[in-house]
Each structure stands twice: as C-alpha cells, then as structure tokens.
Structure 1
Amino acid sequence: MCAAALLAAVVAVPARADAGAADLLAAGPRGAGWALKDTGPAAAQGVRFRGLAAVGRDTAWLAGSKGTVLRTRDGGRSWQDVSPPGAVAEQLELRDIEAFDARRAVALSIGEGGASRILRTEDGGANWAEAFRNPDPRAFYDCLAFFDSRHGLAVSDPVDGKFRVLATDDGGRDWRVLPDAGMPQALSGEAGFAASGQCLAASGPRDVWLATGGGASARVLHSADRGLTWRVADSTLPGGDPARGVFALAFRDRTTGLAVGGDHRTGQASPLAAARSADGGRSWTRAATPPAAYRSGAAWYPYGRTAALAVGPTGTDVTLDAGRSWRALDGGSFDTVACAADGACWAAGEKGRAARLEPHR
C-alpha cells in the first residue's frame, strides 16, 4: 500500500477535499491505524513520552519522563536507549525533542528555574551536551521549534508579564534571550502548555506561532521575524480556566494552520476545541465538527493539502478538509503526533506508548 493511502478511514470524502486528500481513501474499508511499537523497559517503567521527532519511516526520536530518550532506526522494531547519563538527568522531564536526522537532536526539559534545560547531541545520543540551563527561577520553558537545522526558538511562560523567548543560530549549541519589546502583554494567568512539544510551531524560514491557555481567552501569537515582534489573535478555543486553552499548533505553510486543545482534566467536556486559520494566524475559525474531546497534539499529513491528525488521551481524529471537520480514526491514548516528509506519521504518549500509522492488516 502506498503511503498516500494510510489515512484511509470509514468516512465519506468531504466535498471540499482536494485530489490529494481523496487519494488518502484509496485503501477503502481496510483503512489505517496506529501500529504500536514495543519500547521495552520504557513501557514497563511507565515512561510518558510527550516529546516526538519524526525523521522518517525508519527513524524517530522519543523524549519523556525520567530523563528518557529513545531512538529507532528500523521503523520501531527496536529502540535504542540514548538517554542523557547520570542520576540528575534521570530526574528531568523531557517534554520536547527536535531532530534533524538520526544523529542530531535537541531536547527540552521543563520546570522552574534550573529544571528547564536544553540538551543537544550530535552522535545519536551517545553523548549529550547541556546547551542551556535556565538561571531565572521565574522562567519555565515549555517547548522548542526550529526553522531549519540552525535557527530555532524556545519559549517560557511569562516573566514580568511577557512570554520569554530564547533563540539559537547554531543548531542549538548556544542560546540567548530575545528582547521582549515586541512581545504583547500576557493575560492574567496566561501560559503555554508543555503537553506535546507543540505549543510553538514554525513554518518556513521566519514564521513561528505560540499557543496559550490559562487566561481569560485562549490565544495564538504570531511572529514573522523569528520571534522579535509578535501580534496576537483569539483562537476561538475555550479559555477562562487554568486547564483550558490551545495545546498544539500545526502549520502546513505560512498561512494555513490548525489549533487544537480544550480542557485537559479527565472527564471534562471540551466542546469547540479545534480551529483553523487561512491567513497566517491573524484570525481563527472554529471547526464545524471538532474532535469529540480534548486533543493535545496535531500534525499535517505530508501528502495532499487538506489532511491532518489530532491526538489525545481518548483517541485520534482525522480531518480531510483542512480542519473544517474532524472524525474519529483510532481510540488509543497518545499525547503527541508528528509526520515526516516521506509520509510516515508517528505518535507517542503514556505508559511508554509509541506507534506508527500503518494500514490495517
């Protein structure tokens, strides 16, 4: 089965789906779903993977609790434990990882003060260097995003009323705090969510978007100059509570984006928890048929221009019309999802869960 058929599901082709999205239904009723990949001791130890980097069909990286980093180079048949060494590293909560290939990756540990760190490897995890350790007890870094293999950003919850942004120009070796003159004032209680490594999303050489929650409204901030200046828009997702907001962003290009989230508390309803933008995040429109529950991760499918995935603790949803409507694809629990340029999609989450999207057998 070709990769372009993997998102086949038992749904009708939406009227506005383009030809590429229609190709996704070529598998007919066989459809596709998540094929779990055994992560060995990580599953037995209950590691939760919220950081995921999909390099391709064969190669993916996972980052999670207990300072755990795993890498596969054979499509998930086996996983190599490439975690940073030492008792201190074992205490790290790794919530994001960005990988450029099978050897180079940058991982983010969250927490107040020095618990927020950025680590980097150039040899497939055999060695890790600490590229940044947060010196400010008021800062709490949530996620990373890279424009290319050299330029990237990391974002912290507000300090002195504004989100704090770090920047690197050398692939994550060195980081500097950007001036906040171009950052809008944060709302009372507003913050980012370190739920899936997707509260920060980049597309192209300069555009980046930041998802927020916890304030009176759930907002999306956009920068067109690598984080120097920002403008803000209401996402239309639920706000007004510390547990509600935008948890993940995905941009197919510099104009077309998706936002998903809701209320992360178990058993809480999350109506209207998805939105789409066609103007680079200047404005957002609610999905006519959103996912049925809170979703923490989202990713565009590489083939076609209208298909994407959203994942959360209660399942996976698919859109074939660029976020206008969502329908259930799979019922398994995942926190984060990512698709590679070759068409391979990966997901990861609680209890060491990792999976690749594959046709039903």
Structure 2
Amino acid sequence: MPRPNRGAYLKWIEERGCFYIQWYEQGRPRKRSTGFADVRDAEQALSQFIFERQRERVSGPREPGQLLVTDALAYYVEHHADTAADPVRIKQAVKALVPFWLGVLVDGVTKGTCQRYQKVRDKAVATVRRELTTLRAAINYAHSEGLLTRPVPVWLPDKPDSKDRWLTRSEAAALLNAARIGRSDVRAYLPLFIVLGLYTGKRKQAILDLRWPQVDMKNKLIDFRKRDDAGEVKGQTSKRRGRQPIPNRLMTFLRLAHKRRHGDLGYVIHDKGQRILDIGDGKSGSFGTACKRAELSGVTPHTLRHTCGTWLAQKGVPLFQIGGWLDHSDSRTTELYAHHHPDFQGEALEAMNRRK
C-alpha cells in the first residue's frame, strides 16, 4: 500500500552535513540535497522547490477551496508577469509571498491571514501593500483565465501618506557626482539613468527597458512605449508610457552614450552591452550606494520622477502639461504637484487680502 503523501519536507542528513528535501512519489521516497546546512537557507530552497513543482499542476476551473495560492501565483508569473509594466517588481513580490502562503488555499486568503502576513513580513506598509496587491492581482487573473470559479477579496493595509520627497538642484548634482565616482561599470550607466529620470520623469522600468531604436537622435524624440522582441509596440498597462521630446541638457548625455553604445539595437542603460535588470533602491544596489555617498536620505529611483514633476511645477508649467510629460492617466495624481506651482492658490490669496 502506498505510503500517505505528506508533501515535501526537510530532513537533516548527518553524513552529508546539510538538509535534504524529502518527498514521496507513488509511495516511493525521493530526496534532493538543498546544499545548505543553515535551516533558513534550506527552508528557502524548500519553498522554491515546492513552488516550481506546483507550476505544472494548475488546471481548472476550481472553487477557491480547491486551488492553492501558490498555484495562482505561479500561473500569474508564468503567463502575465513578463507582459506587465514592471515584471521585476512582480517577481520580487511573489518571491516574498510564497513562503507564507505555502499550503494555503485561495479561500484561506482572509483579512485575518493578510494581517498576519503583514505582521510576519515586518516590512514598510507600502511594501506589504504592494505585495498583497500582487496577490490580489494573481487571484483575479486566475479567475479571468478560468482557473477559479470566482475571486476572493484581498485585504490591503491603508495606503500610506504620499511622500513629498524631491531633490533640490544641489541634491541632484550631489547624486550625479556620487554616481560618477563609483565603480567603473557603474559609472558607465548610473549617471545616464539619473539624468533620464530627472529630465523625462519616466518610471524606473521604462528607463531600464529603453533601447536605442526608440531614441530618435535626429528629431530629438524618445518613444518609451514598451515593445516586444520583434520591435512591435505592446498594449498599454495602467502605467502608461508615451513619446517625449528630448530636453537639450539630456541630449548632451545621450549623444555621448550613443557614441559608446554596444550595437544599434542594444539597451540605453547597460554594462558593456549587458542589460541592467535593476539598479536597487535608496538603500541597496548601485543607486543606493550613490545615495549613501551623496548623504541623501529618503531617496529612491522613483524620487527622480517626483523631482521632475516638482521642477516643472516650480517653473510654472500648467498641470495638464505636467500630467502629459509624466504620462499620468489620472489628473488627481498630477494635482499632487499643484502646491509647488508659483501661482498656487494665488487667486484665493488675493481675494482673502482684499478689504472689500
């Protein structure tokens, strides 16, 4: 009689000095080395092993009580992530979600379990909210693709107050100088990334995805719209990407980078021809190192985008034009820059100052 299957689990093999993954197939024991003696590393290896095995098991439609959360996440990564605006961020979120939700069915996603996830994760509210938003998107995607008979609601922590962190001209100069004195490989791409962010206001992933065929040096125009491997424009997501004229100061940087490019079809941000997948955040990666060197706190790659919008507002650019420059799909987002405008509430102030 086949032995009851308890699923994959960790087992310490003394003679090997490391943990093994043990499981049963048709009643027969199977095992695989994790290569780790540390239990935390071994648990991560086990999570990845289970996640990969579950990728092949999804077939539906099923009731929420019949589909594993990790199956929904795996399907979302495999069939949707690479076509999204920021596939790297989606995959990072899924990697964080998997250990907690292992063995949990979709109907086990409740307000209580989501709040426990927030407590166990012990990260910033914005980070947890982004990860749970990815979980919600995966469940909704599973429903839209016919894997689930119905979706379930996913509780999210309240959205934190938006940060009005932007760079002054001197701070921007300090960050750029810090990028220029980093490692030789970083000096080749980080300064260009920074000026692209400051002058175009585009999101990090849009800049990292940019290739030279999208940059019209003759007509001074950049087409940030995402393209497939054949060069065809992909459909827009909620994080829109448009076409934009190139400011003169940015053009100087692009001309120099164009001379040093590795092939006419290559990425604008690269390391010796190799694409840069991520530059980190305000505390890690090449961008984080530059921030520390420049002694800047609270700065992330997204701060460059916010700085661009703030500078435009401070120069008196109408809000609707700022929204177009930043590819905003919602005017309420652009209104966040209103208080930086030199005429902010000017008419109201003038009215209040009148004696009659």
TM-score, structure 2 length as denominator?
A: 0.22
Greater gyration radius: 2
Output the TM-score relative to the length of structure 1.
0.22
Structure with the higher fraction of residues in strand conformation: 1
Q: Which has the higher helix share?
A: 2
Q: Which has the higher contact order (CA 8 A, sep 6+)?
A: 1
